[in-house]
Structure 1
């Protein structure tokens, strides 16, 4: 790096052209009297004294005013760089807080360059979820979003958690209370999060695992893109992962607006041998509004093992009603008979 490039970088930290020339002169000498520095830098001796006090406060130099004559010594560059980094780290959270408060919510896409911002956006998405959250994140970063996940579970969000980069699932921290279902995968994979299939984030592994990554993450708010990310999550990453945790079956009756949550609950009750019924409202996929009420005779799902769905996003119930047997799916259903808006599971 030549002098001009170094001077430009120093200028970004608030030093004027004269201050830069004087500081570089001090660096070249290592330690010198004010008169020597003033002569070499082409400034007054009084200016050197005044500037040196400012540079000392900022950690660039040390003023030895106990000596006669006074000398000015440059601090080791690594110490200066460390101090600047500490100042930037301390400033980061305050900048993030202000930036988040004014971040336009209507933007479709946001390119993110910093790890701290990625984690902040993940937390915001977790807080935004009202029905369903899918999250894939390195196991080493779980604690940074643990409180947000716990809050989501507490308010009834269906939390599907996939921890990546796991050497030994036995070493994974407890995920009870921060997920509805959870799995672990040994591979490093993108950090992926969707909130209610409407907004989300995708980040390469490096940007979350390293502080000096030159990769970028993308956050989005787009209803058309959310289901694509959810499909990739369930299709490419969820199946090979090892099951870590499944919540206990809920007490009945229980109502859901998130259909995958309902399918999980039905699966768990059927596994326990419970007699289960379902009633709800929706529409026939090929014709008009309807309601249904009947015995749940089966499920098609890929949330917990053993899975039996024929493609990754197939999560449906088989309900035997007085009018016959119907398959029931959630929002966007197209191979099932009925697309349900809401559903209640109960016993007779």
Structure 2
């Protein structure tokens, strides 16, 4: 390697031209007085002292100022390389964290112009659903994601589905926990696990030549807003056409809407239910666990609905200390915010 290439590489580590000249001179001498280095590098003696202190701080040299005259020794290259490698390794986690943070931010929204791509994204997100999804989709597009929806229901995902733009009754056997239909066209709205989803205008999925665009999002703050709009604006306008059979008891859920749905269909089938709730008091945020008979539900998923606002889903549980109300994540009207609920037949 020639001197120019070596100097370029050292410059990448933040060394100035004078620092490089001083360091290379010291490498050739091993150890030398400041005056010797000054003459060889073409700098002043005072500058050599200043540069040597800077090089010493970064592990390139050692300054022996306890002797007279002061001498400067170049550290063995292996030590210098090990020090540089250690510095690089130490900053790697911080660099990777910042890089991944930017990646996450840039990936929060994706604009999609193709109907085929929108369906592909919907199918992929449904395949990844773990606990809950809400979806509105035109009847003509339902067959393209049918298998994914059936698989989601079979693995225990709560699926609330509106089939829009309906001319004749669609085949909805097994595709959702609750299916509603609407004769009107409506936007395609998908949320999965209150985390990711898709928003697409009606024209994009109705016509192959549409110039409209869809948005695929991955943002925890946005998904609950979309769920609220879905349950508050579109779900009540559609007509219920199918509901799955209740799950075999006992069951245990972290997803609270799934808990309320299962409690509702079990109670309506005549089952006497008990619930064990682990969560916290909404009054003082203390951890709590209660067990008792489920004596009531507030919900807007299954007809007849009885909730007082679109996202209200709660249980009333009769305990030894009286009746308490239980809500899901972010509950404030109810007595308890639940993290986990176990339902069983009494």
Q: How does 1:90-105 map to 2 (within 5 A)?
A: none
Structure 2 counterpart of 1:147: 147
Could you report, residue by residue, the CA deviation over 1:50-109 in whole angstroms, capped at 9, with x for unpaired residues?
Answer: xxxxxxxxxxxxxxxxxxxxxxxxxxxxxxxxxxxxxxxxxxxxxxxxxxxxxx766111
Structure 2 counterpart of 1:237: 234
Structure 1 counterpart of 2:281: 284
Partners of 1:274 and 1:298 in 2: CA distance: 12
Offset at 1:143? 0.5
Structure 2 counterpart of 1:123: 123
Structure 2 counterpart of 1:267: 264
Question: Which one of the candidate residues 329, 333, 347 is aligned to 2:327?
Answer: 329
Question: Which one of the candidate residues 332, 336, 339 is aligned to 2:337?
Answer: 339
Change (3 A) 1:195 1:165: same
Offset at 1:259? 1.0
RMSD of aligned alpha carbons: 1.2
Offset at 1:268? 1.2
Q: Does 1:187 align with 2:184?
A: yes
Partners of 1:219 and 1:290 in 2: CA distance: 38
Could you report, residue by residue, the CA deviation over 1:295-321 in whole angstroms, capped at 9, with x for unpaired residues?
Answer: 100000011111000001101100011
User: Runs of 5+ in structure 2 lacking a partner?
Assistant: 1-102
Q: Does 1:309 align with 2:307?
A: yes
Count of aligned pairs? 242
Could you report, residue by residue, the CA deviation over 1:19-63 in whole angstroms, capped at 9, with x for unpaired residues?
Answer: xxxxxxxxxxxxxxxxxxxxxxxxxxxxxxxxxxxxxxxxxxxxx
User: Runs of 5+ in structure 1 lacking a partner?
Assistant: 1-103
Partners of 2:270 and 2:153 in 1: CA distance: 26
Structure 1 counterpart of 2:163: 163
Partners of 2:188 and 2:134 in 1: CA distance: 10
Could you report, residue by residue, the CA deviation over 1:2-34 in whole angstroms, capped at 9, with x for unpaired residues?
Answer: xxxxxxxxxxxxxxxxxxxxxxxxxxxxxxxxx
Structure 2 counterpart of 1:206: 203
TM-score normalised by the chain length of structure 2: 0.68
Partners of 1:118 and 1:332 in 2: CA distance: 31
Offset at 1:273? 2.4
Change (3 A) 1:132 1:284: same
Q: Does 1:197 align with 2:194?
A: yes
